[in-house]
């Protein structure tokens, strides 16, 4: 067992003499008091898709080319009893946006189902989804998904109405002046939402550009917020119940670890003069950050077999809350918070011959950042 910073301090005081080296060993471990106890929901030795029964056309052919070792989960979102995941656009992957049930009574773990249907996953057909990436579920039950596109298709934002038969509510293709139609000149990754009294704004990071992209649901328009010298990587937004809502971000450069914040209202005003604050440094570059309605930021860092958190109401302090012995994955975890006080984690283990996956969840007592802090759900 390792000590936690607070108990360590008492321990130090009781000891009086302590070498800084000794302190460092204790500070960078998982401390039991910070640990979140996860429950395993599913475990897969090998992933598979739900293939269509009539093996007609290109989809039937794809089944024979499917290679489960090429499934790399990236971003995740949860709505009621469904969990959505985006996958890399690798060879042998028939759809980059899939869903799973959050609970299942069968003995075998569930298969990946294309979302919303096979029809919206057609290779090089630009009115279907090519490469799904960052995604969010809003308070109205809409799923917002970035589609990076591919060498043939430009980038888009898709909005699906999960509460209404998964209908496509919006497809917004970014103008060429904003997101290059040449696929080597863009790299979209993350999307975060900002709910205003009469609109929903989405902020996108394209780490080939020195601006943030902002889209308004009300006007159905997208535009840049210029940030000279700054390319964006991971984004997170603090919850609604904070007076001055902040956008938290990591600057894109090799091995950037520093976390910055900027006030969302300043971003809305102009951008160029926005005051940014350096907050602290993670143990590496985070691939994913998410903040819950109780102001706890959860983060996963490239190549680390643990997850970290920080209470953003307090001075920066990285606390590890989940750590596993061996995983050997570059991007070992996908994270998402639901509206029901649960944190979901998809864990990837590359240390064997086949990649193994586990879906975990834990009650954390707070919801996704877009919802008000309330543990009580409306009762019927
Ligand atoms: C998690 O489980 C361990 C071992 O059962 C226990 O000591 C610890 O208090 C638990 N932590 C939380 C936050 O429930
Ligand atoms: C098979 O695909 C063709 C071409 O897309 C289509 O016309 C036909 O209706 C399909 N058959 C079935 C059984 O789905
Ligand atoms: C499946 O993908 C893995 C990892 O890229 C590769 O090593 C393997 O050869 C592939 N299998 C087939 C049958 O193509
Ligand atoms: C919310 O969580 C409770 C307790 O874990 C569970 O009984 C309920 O089914 C969940 N509701 C949804 C919509 O997931
Ligand atoms: C929902 O979709 C199913 C399958 O496409 C269709 O049969 C059903 O009529 C739809 N329901 C509504 C309310 O649109
Ligand atoms: C939103 O904008 C896109 C352009 O990307 C356009 O094709 C679409 O029709 C618009 N949708 C609505 C509902 O105005
Ligand atoms: C975060 O820190 C604030 C201020 O110290 C405290 O009131 C709050 O309970 C903490 N939240 C959690 C979830 O620990
Ligand atoms: C990862 O897989 C290896 C090989 O199958 C196994 O030995 C190890 O226990 C697994 N790690 C975890 C955390 O499950």
- The tens-digit pLDDT sequence of the chain (380 residues) is 455 655 444 444 444 444 444 444 444 567 777 899 999 999 999 999 999 876 655 666 678 889 999 999 999 999 999 999 999 998 889 999 999 999 998 989 999 999 999 999 988 999 999 999 999 999 999 999 999 999 999 999 999 999 999 999 999 999 999 999 999 999 999 999 998 889 999 999 888 888 889 999 999 999 998 887 788 888 999 886 555 688 888 877 777 888 988 888 887 775 556 678 899 999 999 999 999 999 999 999 999 999 999 999 999 999 999 999 889 999 999 999 999 999 999 999 998 888 999 999 999 999 998 887 654 444 33
**Do 241 and 328 fall within a single domain?**
yes
Is the CB of residue 67 below 6 angstroms from any atom belonging to ligand 3?
yes
Residue 250 lies in a domain: yes
Residue 150 lies in a domain: yes
Residue 293 lies in a domain: yes
- Quick one: pLDDT at residue 56? 57
> Closest Cα to atom 4, ligand 8: which residue?
352
Mutational pocket test of ligand 6: of 204, 220, 222, 223, the residue with most ligand atoms within 8 Å of the beta carbon: 220
The CA 33 to ligand 1 mean position distance, Å, reads 7
- Quick one: pLDDT at residue 241? 58
Residue 377 lies in a domain: no
Contacts by residues 348-357 (CB-CB < 8 Å, ≥ 24 positions apart): 348/72, 348/73, 349/324, 351/326, 351/327, 354/45, 354/46, 354/68, 354/69, 355/68, 355/69, 355/71, 355/329, 356/43, 356/44, 356/45, 357/42, 357/43, 357/44, 357/47, 357/73
Q: 77 in helix, strand or coil?
A: strand
Residue 12 lies in a domain: yes
- Quick one: pLDDT at residue 272? 54
Give me the DSSP letters along 237-292.
E--TTSSS-EEEEEE-STT--EEEEEEHHHHHHTSTTPPEEEEEE-SS-EEEEEEB
Cα separation of 32 and 36, whole Å?
Answer: 8
Mutational pocket test of ligand 4: of 340, 375, 379, the residue with most ligand atoms within 8 Å of the beta carbon: 340
- Which ligand is closest in space to the CA of residue 347? 8
- Quick one: pLDDT at residue 380? 33
Helices (runs of H) and strands (runs of E) counted in the chain: 4, 24
**Full-prediction pTM beyond 0.75?**
yes
Cα separation of 283 and 286, whole Å?
Answer: 9
Cα separation of 345 and 347, whole Å?
Answer: 6
Residue 379 lies in a domain: no
- Which ligand is closest in space to the CA of residue 173? 6
> Closest Cα to atom 8, ligand 2: which residue?
56
Which tokens sit at 50?
Answer: 């739900």
Do 310 and 300 meet the contact criterion of CB atoms below 8 Å apart? no
**Do 30 and 135 fall within a single domain?**
no
**Domains: count for the chain:** 2
Ligand 4 atom index nearest CA of 338? 14
- Which ligand is closest in space to the CA of residue 156? 6
* Sign of torsion over alpha carbons 34, 284, 289, 262: positive
Q: Please list every protein residue whose CB sits less than 6 Å from any atom of ligand 6.
A: 170, 172-173, 220
- Rg of the chain over Cα atoms, rounded to whole angstroms, equals 21
Residue 160 lies in a domain: yes
The CA 313 to ligand 7 mean position distance, Å, reads 6
Chain centroid to Cα 52, Å, comes to 29
Cα separation of 10 and 95, whole Å?
Answer: 53
**Do 116 and 137 fall within a single domain?**
yes
**Do 120 and 12 fall within a single domain?**
no
The CA 160 to ligand 5 mean position distance, Å, reads 14
> Closest Cα to atom 5, ligand 7: which residue?
314
Cα separation of 178 and 224, whole Å?
Answer: 7
Question: Which CATH number belongs to the domain containing residue 161 in this structure?
Answer: 2.120.10.30
Residue 314 lies in a domain: yes
Cα separation of 76 and 33, whole Å?
Answer: 27
Cα separation of 325 and 35, whole Å?
Answer: 15
Cα separation of 334 and 311, whole Å?
Answer: 20
**Do 106 and 253 fall within a single domain?**
yes
**Do 163 and 20 fall within a single domain?**
no
Q: Please list every protein residue whose CB sits less than 6 Å from any atom of ligand 1.
A: 32, 35, 37
- Quick one: pLDDT at residue 23? 42
Mutational pocket test of ligand 8: of 306, 349, 350, the residue with most ligand atoms within 8 Å of the beta carbon: 349
Q: Is 56 exposed, middle or buried, given 0-12, 13-18 or 19+ CB atoms closer than 10 A?
A: exposed
**Do 72 and 8 fall within a single domain?**
no
Q: How many residues does the chain have?
A: 380
- Quick one: pLDDT at residue 263? 85
**Do 211 and 353 fall within a single domain?**
yes
**Do 99 and 130 fall within a single domain?**
yes
Q: Which domain holds residue 200?
A: 35-363
Mutational pocket test of ligand 7: of 314, 319, 343, 364, the residue with most ligand atoms within 8 Å of the beta carbon: 314
**Do 242 and 300 fall within a single domain?**
yes
Is the CB of residue 54 below 6 angstroms from any atom belonging to ligand 2?
yes
> Closest Cα to atom 12, ligand 8: which residue?
326
Cα separation of 333 and 172, whole Å?
Answer: 29
- Quick one: pLDDT at residue 242? 55
**Do 127 and 179 fall within a single domain?**
yes
The CA 56 to ligand 2 mean position distance, Å, reads 6
How many CB atoms neighbour CB 111 within 10 A? 13
How many CB atoms neighbour CB 109 within 10 A? 18
**Do 231 and 287 fall within a single domain?**
yes
- Which ligand is closest in space to the CA of residue 319? 7
- Quick one: pLDDT at residue 210? 86
Cα separation of 224 and 18, whole Å?
Answer: 52
Ligand 6 atom index nearest CA of 156? 5
CA distances from residue 131 to 40, 211, 268, 272 in whole angstroms, order as listed: 28, 22, 29, 31
């Amino acid at each position: 067992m390792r000590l936690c910073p607070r108990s360590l301090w008492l321990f130090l005081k009781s000891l009086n003499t302590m070498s800084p080296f000794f302190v460092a060993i204790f500070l960078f471990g998982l401390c039991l008091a910070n640990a979140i106890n996860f429950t395993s929901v599913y475990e897969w030795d090998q992933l598979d898709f739900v293939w269509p029964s009539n093996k007609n056309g290109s989809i039937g052919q794809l089944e024979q080319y499917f290679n489960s070792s090429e499934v790399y989960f990236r971003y995740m979102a949860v709505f009621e009893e469904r969990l959505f995941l985006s996958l890399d656009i690798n060879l042998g992957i028939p759809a980059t946006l899939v869903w799973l049930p959050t609970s299942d009574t069968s003995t075998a773990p569930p298969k990946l189902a294309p979302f919303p249907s096979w029809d919206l996953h057609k290779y090089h057909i630009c009115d279907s989804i090519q490469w799904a990436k960052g995604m969010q579920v809003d308070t109205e039950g809409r799923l917002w998904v970035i589609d990076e596109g591919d060498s043939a298709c430009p980038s888009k934002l898709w909005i699906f109405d999960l509460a209404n038969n998964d209908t496509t509510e919006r497809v917004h293709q970014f103008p060429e002046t904003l997101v290059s139609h040449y696929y080597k000149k863009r790299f979209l990754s993350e999307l975060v939402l900002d709910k205003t009294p009469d609109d929903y704004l989405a902020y996108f990071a394209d780490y080939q550009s020195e601006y943030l992209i902002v889209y308004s649901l009300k006007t159905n328009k997208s535009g840049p917020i210029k940030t000279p010298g700054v390319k964006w990587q991971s984004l997170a937004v603090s919850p609604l119940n904070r007076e001055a809502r902040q956008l938290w971000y990591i600057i894109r450069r090799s091995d950037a670890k520093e976390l910055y914040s900027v006030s969302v209202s300043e971003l809305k005003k102009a951008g160029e003069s926005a005051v940014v604050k350096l907050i602290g440094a993670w143990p590496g570059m985070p691939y994913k950050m998410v903040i819950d309605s109780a102001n706890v930021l959860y983060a996963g860092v490239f190549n680390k077999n643990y997850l970290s958190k920080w209470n953003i109401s307090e001075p920066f302090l990285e606390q590890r809350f989940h750590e596993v012995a061996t995983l050997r994955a570059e991007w070992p975890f996908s994270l998402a918070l639901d509206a029901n006080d649960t944190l979901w984690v998809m864990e990837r283990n590359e240390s064997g011959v086949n990649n193994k996956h586990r879906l975990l969840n834990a009650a954390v007592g707070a919801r996704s950042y877009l919802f008000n802090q309330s543990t009580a759900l409306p009762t019927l």
